[in-house]
Structure 1
Amino acid sequence: MTAARVVRTQVVVVGAGPVGLLLAGELRQGGARTVVLETLPRPTTESRASTLHARTMELLHDRGLLEPAGPLPHTLTGHFGGLPLDFTVASPYAGLWTLPQARTARLLEERALALGADLRRGHEVVRLAVTAGQVEVEASGPGGPLRVRAEYVVGCDGEQSTVRRLAGITRTGTPATRELLRADVTGVEVPDRRFQRLERGLAVAARRPDGSTRIMLHEFGATPSAGAVRFPAFAAAWLRVTGEDIADGVPVWVNSFRDASFLADRYRAGRVLLAGDAAHQHLPIGGQALNLGLQDAANLGWKLASTVAGRTPATLLDSYHEERHAVGRRVVHNIAAQAELLLGRAEVDPVRTVLGDLLTHPDARRHLAQMVSGLDIRYGPDDGSPALLGSRLPPAALPARSATALREGRGLLLLAGLGEAERAALRRTAAAWSGRVDIVEGTAVPELPGALLVRPDGHVAWLHGGVEPLETALRRWFGTPAGSAPAGAGRLAGRSVLVTHADRGPGRAIAELLAAQGALVAAHCGKDGGTADALLSSIEGRGGRAVVLRADLTDEGAVDRFLDDLADLLELRTGSAELDVLVATFPPTARGVPLPVVRRAALLMRRGGLVVAVSGSDGNGMPGRVRRCAASLAPLGVTVNAVLTEPGEETDGQVAAAVALLACDEAHAFTGVLRVAGSRARERGALR
């Protein structure tokens, strides 16, 4: 059996359709190392979806992706459930724009590859293993098995998502009862028709620029086909519905879409995320499926890149589910309504008549056009906040000279219409986020506040004159700025620390304090997943960085596996498998320093590493054990110290403070034992 190749990265994207490729580009633009796995050995030539809506066009414009696409045909007339709908909306990209899906994917692939994404075609995912610290995705491919280890995996692998299934993410919805057949056919002459409702079904036909005719068909009363649709069956159904014979035509491709309607219960399950059709399934009416998926990628990409870079806590990813799940639910509902209007028999005709009348009223027409176009999306609670907060930035708000301000995927502070003193104060506040947020000066725009903070996906995150200070919004969306932490809080920045038994007693306090002081903490925990998850949530919720590993350290075999996993995690997060500090905490019943665990872990440590052993005060012979441990590790350049403590929550903070002191570079100057009792800590005896 061929040994599996192992690749380490930060994010694995499964699926190289337009959604996965846009996401890969967004991740690379944000600095995240990214591997894309795709089952197909080469790009598909099918263009199942070719319609882009106004909001998607705005997002592609923001990233400079429309220029290479060149001029695109578009129309202002679309439909809602087969009823004509005018898509005149307040956007420079009003209407419906035509870009074949295969071409969209090619443009997005070129961008992702140019930015450094690692695209591997012909690799089918067969296994997914998730721990608190990493994911491992195994795929079969032309070179044999491939294992990709990363911090996160995103399933962009379609309605039958393997990632969703392997992660155990459930869906809620209804199975298919009806089917819409579709094909591109050459060599036929049939009249163009737009949602023609006939006695036996629905017929659509349109001659395309390449000379083929796109035909869509639903036969009333027909049940979904058991397998792939073949052209002879398609032609026979077309004949029954329209009376036209197209059997001599040559199919370019044939497929079918069903009216199944499902929404993933979670878009995020820890280190697993879903986007595009993997998260939502519905009848692809009016191109909403592709547009919804691309907007998922635009929302997720910058958040995930910022998280793996350590700029923002992992809790930021929760906003992806909160924001996009609500949008997905709304789209699934409007598609279900359209499916009834489009595929229903004569009994839906009265509803179609009433809705058709409503669409002659400007407000009703505008409401549906903005909903389908994605322009009315607003992120955040409906708590009476100004309508602009959470909405997309109106295109008119940006000065013409700054039309490309969002191209690099950074945030934007737009200053317009304020006095110089106010502008200067806001500039000073935002300066701490330089490199994450750009500042653009403009002139006052009617009906807009004098200053706006805009997220990389173009949605407004803060308004001047609102309740929330600018600094609060900057911290929420862009993390803690470099150099702005409280005094001493960054003393361990850039260091990697392993804390054993971090899920209880002083171990938890130590892990939390060292993470708060800037260290990347690898927290060893027992089998209680809830306790481990709570620790990780606590650290990341305060802006710290941590990974969690579970193992029984009394089992020598488990210790070896644990340290292998630790090395993998360190390499994922830091690019190096080396450890700076080991904090070995042990239950009160443990006596002294368990040398085998410490010695094995020390092999991962850099020269100049530090070991701090923490044990109950009844640790018999602790000074002698520390002396022996220090002597054995001295050739490796590793310094050993110890802390003795009385068990109890009242001393946990003091123990953590003592460990933080001994974890600093200055601790190389001595080796000793500290005793912590209540609020006092005194040196127990120098060994040097």
Structure 2
Amino acid sequence: MAPAAGTEADVLVVGAGPAGLLLAGEVSAGGASTLVLERLPGPTGESRASILHARTMEIFAERGILDRLGSLPDGGRGHFGGLPLPLDEADPDHPYAGQWECLQSRLEPLLEEWATEQGAEIRRGHQVTGLTRGADRVTVEASGPDGTSRRCTARYLVGCDGEHSTVRRLAGFEMVGEDATREMLRADVRGISLPDRRLRRYPGGTATAYRRADGTTRLMVHDNSRPPSHLGRAPEFAEVAAAWARVTGEDIGAGTAVWLDSFDNSRRQARHYRNGRVFLAGDAAHVQMPVGGQALNLGLQDAAALGPRLAARVTGGCTDEALDAYQSERHPAGARTLANIQAQAQLLFGGSELDGLREVFGELLEKEPVRRHLARMISGLDSPPAPPTVRRGSRSTAPLKRSTTHGRPTMDRLTGKTALVTGSSRGIGRAIAIRLAREGALVVVHYASNDDAARETVTQVEKEGGRAFAVRAELGVPGDVHELFVGLERGLKERRGETALDILVNNAAVTTSQGTAPEDVTAEQLQQYFAVNAIAPFLIVQRASQNMPDGGRIINISSALTRFAEPGQAAYSMTKGAVEQISLHLAKHLAPRRITVNSVAPGITDNGGPAFDIPEVVEQMAQISAFKRVGQAGDVADVVTFLATDEARWITGSFVDASGGTLLG
């Protein structure tokens, strides 16, 4: 595809590291023209990174890159802050569970070859020096290999130029975080023989040594007695040898260094990954200690998420909102990774004052749900998959399986999101809470009085590796919504450091199982029904909208009884009709913020009540559905979950019949 008039390319990528090359290939494979500028004259021979995780292996397999890499050696068990963590427990059914060794010096040339085959043009020896932006394009100035300056213009610009990103600086992206307090020296050394060790703690620091198949030994050493002094620059081998001797007591001075490097525990993240037509990906967007190979994998996953979106935008396959979704998807993933790296750095480098914490973590890692949770986080399997895109060329023949949770499918589409489900201690509410948690959301389990039932919901979520906490608040009484949000905000602040609420499901309601004849309904009953079923949801939406970022989701649970007559449920149905009106009118009110509001109407659904234990009654109820069965709570939960995802972004103000065809007549 030819670039737009007046531009040299549709997308300009600065930086030909792994993230930049994967992004360029992605954009080109999607039908947009791509130009890559790289300051180095050739692919790096260094191997700062050497580990691929399961999500990245998926990405490579889907694009045929994994076939090119061939058989990769097992990268070992894995760890969390130096404590053993088997990464293959992230998902025992995943074909690439675990970690795989692939040196960056091998990966970069292969990705460059693949990106070029997709149609990307790569110009080496070009240093970006300036950047200007217009209404519909971006122009960069770059110094070429011969020292002459030239301009390159594109519709979009992506900075993949590392932690000291020139694009980030020129485009004015704000970085927030913390400066380095510790550093690790790293070297590949020939001519020495040392026992292998993985992040072994000594009184004076931490050291790693392992011998590679080519005869070199990879060393890493942290000296507690020395503050950071290299800040990303390579140390002299004499400095590495001296630090190694101080920490381990071993002499490696007779060896020959073939590569030297240092890294520190700086922790910074761009506040935004997009600034108009300029984007950041990889280390340009986030700076972190490369513990466990997460930095490389995080950057590659950024590229896989952004590339198809840029290609689709250029070729007319999506709106600008799809580009905004890159921020909402990848910024939380980056923040989550930086947080776990910070925790690991404390466990790795802290002194004796952290011995108790390490002991507790060691005990927790003996529990399967904890290992699985951390293994999925490090492996990238708790992040949403990259968006689909049309591709040219070969695909991997290796079968890919979607990850599962205790036999149930999960695609982690809500990772980084928070959700409140009212009335979720049992029945449909419990099923919704569990389903949202399976997709990666942190769920607030609201309940009115049954502490044990709420704990059961939270326990079920955590048993499957999800996250939830309970908040008690009786609805329909003065101060109910205030009490609910005090507990919600306190819990979110403790777990997330902020009180943003992305998803609200108004499910709580009161009714009677047998119904009440219209002539027997009292004024007190009507007041209670409306207080809990209609007034509380309205006020909860009103309050939640203050915590909800743009693009949030509100789902109100109605009932199929608003569409057919059942006199014994007249009072209850009136309140559910009010819920549908809340959805209709507030959908239009909140649309400018891209917050969707929809109603879901279940039919007869097994909520665990005594009637569902009587086969004859169940058979009679089943005849009402077009499918001749009683609905299960999970049937409704799946509909609600869909409406909570980005896939339902174009649906708002709708009444969704989730009654199994009950309303067909």
> In structure 1, what is the equivalent of residue 223 of structure 2?
219
Correspondence 1:444-593 to 2 at 5 A: 465=639, 473=647
Confirm whether residue 120 of structure 1 aligns to residue 129 of structure 2: no
Give the drift of 1:201.
1.1
Paired residue for 1:89? 90
Which residue is 1:558 aligned to? none
Partner of residue 321, structure 2: 315
Q: 1:39 aligned to 2:39?
A: yes
In structure 1, what residue type is equivalent to 2:241?
A
Q: Give the alignment partner of residue 138 of structure 1, picking from 137, 141, 157.
A: 141
Query: Which amino acid counterpart does residue 258 of structure 2 have in structure 1?
Result: V
Which residue, 254, 259, 281 being the options, matches 1:253?
A: 259
What CA distance in whole angstroms lies between the structure 2 residues aligned with 1:13 and 1:371? 28
What is the aligned counterpart of 1:189 among 189, 193, 206?
193
Give the distance between the partners of 2:119 and 2:56, measured in 1 at CA.
24
Distance 1:102 1:240, change over 3 A: same
Distance in 1 of aligned mates of 2:34 and 2:176: 30
Structure 2 stretches of 5 or more lacking a match?
A: 1-5, 384-411, 422-431, 442-636, 652-665
Q: Which has the higher helix share?
A: 2
Contact 2:85 2:375 in 1 (8 A): yes
The CA deviation at 1:244 is: 1.2
Query: Corresponding residue for 2:235?
Result: 229
What's the offset of the Cα at 1:465?
4.8
CA–CA distance in structure 2, aligned partners of residues 30 and 259 of structure 1: 37
1:367 match: secondary structure = helix
Aligned length: 403
The AA in structure 2 aligned to 1:211 is G
Query: Is 1:109 equivalent to 2:115 in the alignment?
Result: no
SS in 2 for 1:55: helix
3-state SS of paired residue (1:151): strand
Give 1:118 deviation, angstroms: 0.7
Residue 247 of structure 2 is matched in structure 1 by 241
* Residue in 2 that maps onto 1:263: 269
1:47–1:100 CA contact under 8 A, matched in 2 = yes
Change (3 A) 1:203 1:467: closer
After superposition, the C-alpha distances for 1:480-518 in whole angstroms (9 at most, x for unaligned) are xxxxxxxxxxxxxxxxxxxxxxxxxxxxxxxxxxxxxxx
The separation in 1 between residues aligned to 2:238 and 2:301, in whole angstroms, is: 37
* Paired AA for residue 99 in structure 2: L
SS across alignment from 1:356 = helix
CA contact (8 A) 1:76 1:94 kept: no
Assess if the C-alpha contact under 8 Å between 1:323 and 1:379 holds in 2: no
Q: 1:278: which partner in 2?
A: 284
The question of whether the paired residues in 2 share the 8 Å contact of 1:36 and 1:120 is answered with: yes
Contact 2:7 2:155 in 1 (8 A): no
What does the per-residue CA deviation read over 1:371-408, in whole Å, with 9 as the maximum and x for residues that have no partner? 1111122344444664499679xxxxxxxxxxxxxxxx
Opposite residue 324 of structure 1, the aligned amino acid is R
**Quick one: structure 1 residues 108 and 391, their matched pair in 2 at CA, closer, same or farther if it must change by over 3 Å?**
farther
Instruction: Give the letter for the 2:267 counterpart.
Output: S
Do the aligned residues in 2 keep the contact of 1:7 with 1:149 (CA within 8 Å)?
yes
Contact kept in structure 2, 1:24 and 1:112, CA below 8 Å: yes
Please give the per-residue CA displacement for 1:269-326, whole angstroms capped at 9, x wherever unaligned: 1101000000011110000000000100111110011111122122210000011001
* 1:357 matched to 2:363: yes
- Give the alignment partner of residue 203 of structure 1, picking from 200, 207, 215: 207
Higher strand share: 1
Corresponding letter in the other structure for 1:55: R
Instruction: Indicate the structure (1 or 2) with the bigger Cα radius of gyration.
Output: 1
Query: C-alpha distance in 1, partners of 2:159/2:438?
Result: 30
CA contact (8 A) 1:307 1:313 kept: yes
Q: Retained in 1: the 8 A contact 2:51–2:75?
A: no
Please say if residues 274 and 280 of structure 2, whose CA atoms lie closer than 8 Å, have aligned partners that are also in contact: yes
Cα distance, 1:369 vs structure 2: 0.6
Q: Distance in 2 between matches of 1:142 and 1:177?
A: 37
TM-score (norm 1): 0.56
8 Å contact from structure 1 (residues 187, 249) kept in 2 = yes
Matches within 5 A, 1:50-65: 50-65=50-65
Deviations 1:540-588 (A, max 9, x none): xxxxxxxxxxxxxxxxxxxxxxxxxxxxxxxxxxxxxxxxxxxxxxxxx
Structure 1 stretches of 5 or more lacking a match? 1-5, 393-462, 478-688
Pairwise CA distance, 1:253: 0.6
* 1:372 match: 378
Asked if 2 retains the 8 angstrom alpha-carbon contact of 1:135 and 1:151, the reply is yes
CA contact (8 A) 2:141 2:152 kept: yes
Alpha-carbon distance between aligned partners in 1 of 2:294 and 2:308, rounded to the nearest angstrom: 22
Equivalents in 1 of 2:141, 2:58: separation in Å? 36
Q: Aligned partners of 1:56 and 1:467: how far apart in 2? A: 26
Could you report, residue by residue, the CA deviation over 1:177-223 in whole angstroms, capped at 9, with x for unpaired residues? 11011100001112211221111111110000100000000000211
Give the AA of the match of 1:244.
E
Asked if 1:303 corresponds to 2:303, the answer is no
Distance 1:142 1:209 in 2: 36
The amino acid of 1:209's aligned partner reads A
Once the two structures are TM-superposed, the CA of residue 469 in structure 1 deviates from its matched residue by 8.7
Change (3 A) 1:207 1:467: closer
Q: Is the 8 A contact 1:7 1:146 kept in 2?
A: no
Distance 1:92 1:83 in 2: 24
Paired letter, 2:322: L
| Preserved CA contact (<8 Å) 2:642 2:648 | no
Tell me the CA shift for residue 89 of structure 1: 2.5
Aligned partner of 1:53: which letter? H
In the alignment, what sits opposite 2:8?
8
Give the Cα separation in 1 of the matches to 2:649 and 2:350.
Answer: 50
**SS of alignment partner, residue 218 of structure 2:** strand
SS at match of 2:220: strand
Query: Partners in 2 of 1:313 and 1:175 — Cα distance?
Result: 38
1:248 Cα deviation from its structure 2 partner: 1.7
Indicate how the Cα distance of structure 1 residues 244 and 365 shifts in structure 2: closer, same or farther if over 3 A, else same: same
What amino acid sits opposite 2:345 in the alignment? A
Q: Deviations over 1:21-76 (max 9, x none)?
A: 00001000111110000010111111111111111111111111111111111156
- Cα RMSD of the aligned pairs, angstroms, is 2.5
CA deviation digits over 1:423-446, x for unaligned, max 9? Answer: xxxxxxxxxxxxxxxxxxxxxxxx
Give 1:319's aligned amino acid.
Answer: A
- On the 8 A contact 1:7/1:147 being kept in 2, the answer is no
Q: Counterpart in 1 of 2:21?
A: 21
Question: Structure 1's 204 and 97: CA in aligned 2 closer, same or farther, altered over 3 A?
Answer: same
